[in-house]
Structure 1
Amino acid sequence: MQQTPVHPVVEEVTRRVTARSAAARSAYLGRMASARATGPTRAGLGCSNLAHGFAACGGSDKLAVRGLRKPGIAIVSAYNDLLSAHQPMDEYPSWIKEAARSAGGVAQFAGGVPAMCDGITQGRPGMELSLFSREVIAMATGIALSHEMFDGALLLGVCDKIVPGLLAGALAFGHLPAILVPAGPMASGLPNKEKARVRQLFAEGRATREDLLEAESASYHSAGTCTFYGTANSNQLVVEVMGLHLPGATFVHPGTPLRRALTEQAARRIVELTRDYTPLAEVVSEKSVVNGVIALLATGGSTNHTMHLVSIAAAAGIELTWDDFAELSSVVPLLANVYPNGSADINHFHAAGGVQFLIGTLLDAGLLHEDVRTVAGDGLSRYRQEPVLTESGLVWRDVPTQSLDLDVLRPVSDPFAADGGLRMLSGNLGRSVIKVSAVAPGHRIVRAPARVFTTQQEFSDAFRAGELNRDVVVVLRGQGPRANGMPELHGLTPALGVLMDRGYQVALVTDGRMSGASGKIPAAIQLTPEAAAGGPLARIEDGDLVELDAVEGRLEVLVDEAELAARPVRDSAPDEASWTGTGRELFAALRRAVGPADQGASVFGPLTAAHFGAPARV
């Protein structure tokens, strides 16, 4: 099939990313090339080292590891029982070991990584560890792969910070092939729109706690990923478009024969990739990173990825910026209508044609790079196909070339909106991100007096006291990565929605996060520089007129420049004494080391050629 030429803006953004990354990327690839072994990696170990590596193996696996002929596969898993999306992974290692064995390899469980549930920790102190857990996961992945026993890796993870952490850690071992292995979404439960309605009623005191718990448990009701289009499902869609899943693996339900077949095929495929050498470092390239951004924009995905994709790219020696997101957003249309952008859930998206239709229509419009390496083989066109189980086993087939539900998923020729679901704002307060795909056009420009808060509780108290029944820009500062780990602020959404429904102009401005569940409220989030770094946000006072313009991409406090500069900086010093309990004191060093949101909010810092320096033995 002849490919459509790549759109000139996509081509130009990719060219700029490649040019600015040249030194770091070249050094990174050089280090990965030097780390590649010509045979099984463990062949270089001493006898005592190797004996430790197969001491607990049994039967043919022990002979295989000792024999130094078959490729060794690492299983790195984020399984736990708390995350519904990860609970199905309990059975995966045994499936993987058997499938790898049948393909001529040997798989060992190399390490587990932490995986916290943001749904459980929402509004709680533990949420202040959530973003930092990404770095811990990356480091834990590094520890799992550090034994020099493995020639490939299967990375088992789904949610929020977990997939970015697994990828960043594995990219430090980018000379190894790696495949991400998902678990799939739970079946559809209570519609997300109804859940949001009950949440608003509870915020107004018009629904009981029992009413709310009943709605929440009808929404989150079984094993599998939550069905709204938040960070977890954004993770899955983006990494498939980047070629890191098997084609069509993303949104197949757990507990089905097809899910098991795909998991087993991932094990067989990773063994093949150690022979048909396809290292992770070459799958995660400048073009695949740009493809990931485009997939995010085209579906109105999670704002968290304006940080996660930056940090993943940096781990591969690639410098991605918010300007790249903004320029791509101007030409990438919005093609999906999934909650919180619409009423459908991720199962409806999958049934309408899902990732395969999305990739096909974007390729046909020249909005994706086809010429990339993937875990399925060279070329993204392979991802137009979906997996099915037949009497003879797992096969892939072409999907319909038309969406099966135009209310949920559309072609590039008939989008929901002409540009992407994410935009960048800038002005005298700094730079921030806004998700506009769920914001009605009439609410995308707000000019109103500020009301400043430093905690979510202060906001809730003011709302209950009736102090916010007016046009208002809620300013919540001291929520950035340096201040308190940058928690998600979903707890604000129901009350802000109530104020909007009462007819007021309402917006949120914060250096914290709202993430994939950002909804109908215009929210300028991840504002950088944050208040704790002395950013202008720390100089706003109650009553200042603030303008958020998501149409023109502006965020301004309408105060004379000299007056603003002369004001004292408030709420800029992180409160060390209060950042204790729930394990937070263990993360103090990470809070001191973390970088700004537009550089990925990473503790590893912006990576340059110097970081990849001289080749190192891995």
Structure 2
Amino acid sequence: MMIVNATISSVTDRIIERSKDSRRRYLDLIDEQRDRGVNRPHLACGNFAHGFAAADAEDKATIRSGRATNIGIVTAYNDMLSAHAPYGRYPDQMKIFAREIGATAQVAGGVPAMCDGVTQGLAGMELSLFSRDTIALSTAVALSHGMFEAAALLGICDKIVPGLLIGALRFGHLPTILVPGGPMPTGLPNKEKQRIRQLYAEGKVGKDELLESESASYHSPGTCTFYGTANSNQMMMEVMGLHMPGAAFVNPGTKLRQELTRAAVHRLTEIGWNGNDYRPLGRCVDEKAIVNAAVGLLATGGSTNHAIHLPAIARAAGIVIDWEDLDRLSSTVPLIARVYPNGSGDVNHFQAAGGIGFTIRTLLDSGLLHGDVLTVAGNGEAPLADHAKEPGLDEDRLVWRDPPEASRDETMLRPASDPFQPDGGMRLVRGNLGRATFKTSAVEASRWTIEAPARVFADQDEVLAAFKAGELERDVIVVVRFQGPKANGMPELHKLTPALGVLQDRGFRVALVTDGRMSGASGKVPAAIHVSPEALGGGPLARLRDGDVVRLSADTGELNVLVDAGEWDSRTDASAPPPAIGTGRELFAMFRNGADEAERGASAMLYAMENVA
């Protein structure tokens, strides 16, 4: 077996030691839930009858007998969100697939699935991060009925997969597989979309041209094809071994997509708790699996949102990770993929180049992944190796083949021995302004260090107004504060990307510093994001003033304001804007009030849970 890289091993050991007590409590919990929790054999007749009253005659008899696996489907279906629209027919199909092997499936519940692409820059974006906790709570409600011996999670996008997984991990005694829907086919080339956006920001094209460009990019059912948080989710689930191998990037509406869903349903019955190959979710998601998720994310230049989501997922399984762990991993894990916005091609091109199978194999061969993790489909001494496969059809029968020996397109995907750059492109920067994440993989190395006067804003609309007024035509570090989880739910700030990109293209040295979020689509402008502690409640960003010189450096890991220490300590905090209401934001006040730091996952729900669990 390949020896695991020393840094990977060291970080894993650090996480195991730090998590020792909380992980033990978690495993005790899921063992207790398996043996004495709410489940079908323990239901009273009245409870049980309610649970299968709506089933058809065949399924009712099977469920009632208690002799076959009943799969609880938790679905994020809606037909407004392109990535989740394909799920409309999945439950009916999955029930048929279950009957093929004498099992049953029921829709246990639905979870919300909002689209950041629709709410970007609008009031609804302030609900976005906390929709993850809402999804986790909804998943828990769905699985609380005790009618199921396994779970299938139907979700893809930004907060949806983390939310589903966090909720399901509290039912970690259940074998669980995540079932993706796949990306839409490639539309308008991403660089052309970016060009039109910047022209619109400069006032050189109108709204009709912009809408035409966007509609040609986002054009059909399926996940958006750029490598943002949604597709980073899929990468992480693959390297954690929680998908059927290679399921992530197969397009919707194809025979292969359907056969992968069928295989997931059949597999859940094989790893259920009544058989001899029991694989509960809580045992699959261990410290090594969390490290694997981080490695996959870094190696492919994935979304910085997972600097928040991955700690939250880990906490749900009793595991504690921090940004120093990610920083140390990033120093060792090479960048082997360039998928837009880090490159020119999208996830369909990545898949054609070798995709997930090639990625897992080259990382395993280089000792950068733990091969000995419990997965939903792998076997032997190194189960993850069975996920380094490409799915295909042989006369309509699903088969898995070895990935290509060499990348089919080295502008998209390379072996770990010959990467695009030697590190994973997600760095921790820290100093007297706090701790933050800096994604270097999409930024030219000449821009990794920026020192310039700050211009301080309280929201992104103020930034855009200053841009349009010509007030930012200089070297500048744009600071957008009071955007953290406690302040307003930590919205993404992609509305700023075209304007800042224009300034950079005009030759200015520009950077963004914020306690808000960006994501895998953050693009080419250097940014220190998720600054913790956030400005609201005493974070250092609240003391910044216009004209203060700020030094941001991914080269040295620095985030400092260059102000005399005595003067800095004497300053008072700026006043935060009052909490906004409308668009349901007031309903999420308890999430904001109880949220902890971004580095811990920015979750009020997990913070409260740990005080009772």
TM-score, normalised with respect to structure 1: 0.97
**Counterpart check, 1:492 vs 2:496:** yes
Distance 1:502 1:393 in 2: 55
Measured in 1, the distance between the counterparts of 2:395 and 2:353 equals 25
2:136 corresponds in structure 1 to 138
Contact 1:71 1:150 in 2 (8 A): yes
Structure 2 partner of 1:279: 280
Residues 453 and 269 (structure 1), Cα distance of their counterparts in 2 relative to 1, 3 Å cut: same
Distance in 1 separating the partners of 2:38 and 2:477: 59
| Equivalent residues in 2 for 1:570-609, closer than 5 Å | 570-572=574-576, 575-576=578-579, 579-606=580-607
Aligned to 1:546: 550
Provide the residue aligned with 1:297 in structure 2: 298
CA contact (8 A) 2:38 2:145 kept: no
Structure 1 residue 39 displacement after superposition: 12
One-letter amino acid matched to 1:195: K
In the aligned structure 2, how far is the partner of 1:595 from the partner of 1:38? 32
Quote the residue 1:241 is aligned against: 239
After superposition, give the CA deviation of every residue in 1:222-281 in whole Å (9 maximum; x if it has no partner).
010001000000000111100110000000000000001111111111111102210000
* 2:422 match: 418
Deviating more after overlay: 169-178 vs 389-398: 389-398
1:432 match: 436
Distance 1:360 1:68 in 2: 40
Query: Out of 10, 26, 31, which is 2:8 matched to?
Result: 10
Quick one: distance in 2 between partners of 1:557 and 1:310? 28
Question: Per-residue deviation at 1:561?
Answer: 1.4
Contact 2:334 2:419 in 1 (8 A): yes
Alignment of 1:86-105 (within 5 A): 86-105=84-103
User: How many Å separate the matches in 1 of 2:500 and 2:396?
Assistant: 54
Q: CA deviation at 1:455?
A: 1.3
Work out whether residues 301 and 421 of structure 1, in 8 Å CA contact, stay in contact via their aligned partners in 2. no
Segments of structure 1 that go 5 or more residues without pairing to the other structure are: 613-618
Change (3 A) 1:261 1:294: same
In the alignment, the residues of structure 1 paired with residue 37 and residue 398 of structure 2 have an alpha-carbon distance, to the nearest angstrom, of 30
The letter for the 1-side match of 2:118 is I
Deviations 1:322-359 (A, max 9, x none): 11000001110000011111111111100000011010
**Cα distance in 1 for residues equivalent to 2:436 and 2:140:** 31
**SS at 2:271's partner residue?**
helix
- The equivalent of 2:372 in structure 1 is 371
Deviation at 1:37, TM superposition (A): 4.3
Aligned match of 1:523: 527
Q: State the distance in 1 between where 2:36 and 2:486 align.
A: 44
The residue that corresponds to 1:342 in the other structure is 343
Query: 1:230–1:63: structure 2 CA closer, same or farther, 3 Å change rule?
Result: same
> What SS does the aligned partner of 1:278 have?
coil
CA distance in 1, matches of 2:134, 2:605: 11
Asked if 2 retains the 8 angstrom alpha-carbon contact of 1:433 and 1:525, the reply is yes
1:81-120 paired onto structure 2 within 5 Å? 81-120=79-118
Would the alpha carbon gap of residues 392 and 81 (structure 1) be closer, same or farther in structure 2, given more than 3 Å must change? closer
Paired letter, 1:15: D
Residue 575 of structure 1 aligns with an amino acid whose one-letter code is P
Of residues 512, 517, 520 in structure 2, which corresponds to 1:513? 517
Query: Partner letter of residue 285 of structure 2?
Result: V
Preserved CA contact (<8 Å) 2:312 2:606: no
1:533 equivalent in alignment to 2:537: yes
Contact 1:96 1:264 in 2 (8 A): yes
* Cα deviation, residue 12, structure 1: 0.6
Give the match's secondary structure for 2:602.
coil
Residues 294-331 of structure 1: per-residue CA shift (max 9 Å, x gap): 00010110000001010000000000111100000111
Structure 2 matches for 1:156-555, cutoff 5 A?
A: 156-274=154-272, 275=275, 276-378=277-379, 379-391=383-395, 393-555=397-559
Distance (Å, rounded) in 2 between the aligned partners of 1:91 and 1:61: 18
Contact kept, 8 Å, 1:330 with 1:420, in 2: the verdict is yes
Residues 317 and 609, structure 1, Cα contact 8 Å, conserved in 2: no
Q: Give the corresponding residue for 2:561.
A: 557
Provide the alpha-carbon RMSD of the alignment: 1.3
C-alpha displacement of 1:575: 1.4
Q: Secondary structure at the match of 2:536?
A: helix
Q: Cα 1:490–1:610, aligned 2, differ >3 Å: closer, same or farther? A: closer
CA distance in 2, matches of 1:50, 1:311: 34
SS in 2 for 1:426: strand
Answer yes or no: is the 8 Å Cα contact 2:513–2:528 preserved in 1: yes
State the Cα distance separating 1:607 from its structure 2 match: 8.1
| Identity score, percent | 59
CA offset at residue 377 of structure 1? 3.0
TM-score, with length taken from structure 2: 0.98
SS at match of 1:532: coil
Tell me the distance in 2 between the aligned counterparts of 1:392 and 1:495.
49
Query: For the residues of structure 1 that align with 2:38 and 2:592, how far apart are their CA atoms?
Result: 39
The secondary structure found in structure 2 opposite 1:409 is: coil
Alpha carbons 1:184, 1:252 under 8 Å: kept: yes
For residues 78-114 of structure 1, give each alpha carbon's deviation from its aligned partner in whole angstroms, at most 9, with x where no partner exists. Answer: 0001110000010100111111111221100110000
Give the Cα separation in 1 of the matches to 2:612 and 2:420: 42
Query: Do the aligned residues in 1 keep the contact of 2:76 with 2:113 (CA within 8 Å)?
Result: yes
Structure-2 change in CA distance of 1:124 and 1:105 (3 Å)? same
Higher RCO (CA-CA < 8 Å; seq separation 6+): 1
> Does the 8 A contact of 1:40 with 1:70 survive in 2?
no
CA distance in 1, matches of 2:561, 2:446: 21
Contact 2:74 2:139 in 1 (8 A): yes
Residue 605 of structure 1: how far off its partner (Å): 3.8
The CA distance in 2 between the partners of 1:605 and 1:165, in whole Å, is 11
Cα distance between partner residues in 1 of 2:611 and 2:122: 39
Give the equivalent residue in structure 2 for 1:616: none
CA distance in 2, matches of 1:323, 1:309: 13
3-state SS, counterpart of residue 50 of structure 1: helix
- The alpha-carbon deviation at position 604 of structure 1 amounts to 2.4
* CA positional deviation for 1:608: 8.8
How far, CA to CA, are the matches of 1:486 and 1:17 in structure 2?
27
User: Residue deviations 1:331-390, cap 9 Å, x none?
Assistant: 100000111111111111000000110100000000000000001034100011111111
What is the CA distance between 1:35 and its match in structure 2?
1.2
1:78 maps to 76
Task: After TM superposition, give the deviation of residue 19 of structure 1 in Å.
Answer: 0.6
Q: Output the amino acid matched with 1:353.
A: G
The alignment status of 1:147 with 2:151, answered yes or no, reads: no
Structure 1 residues 408-443: Cα deviation after superposition (integer angstroms, max 9, x where no partner): 000011100000121110000000001111100111
Opposite residue 385 of structure 2, the aligned amino acid is S
Q: Which amino acid aligns with 1:470?
A: R
* Contact map agreement 1:477 1:571 (CA 8 A) in 2: no
Counterpart residue type for residue 490 of structure 1: H
Instruction: Please give the per-residue CA displacement for 1:473-511, whole angstroms capped at 9, x wherever unaligned.
Output: 000001010000000000000000010011001000000
8 Å CA contact 2:308–2:598 kept in 1: the answer is yes
Letter in 2 for 1:282: R
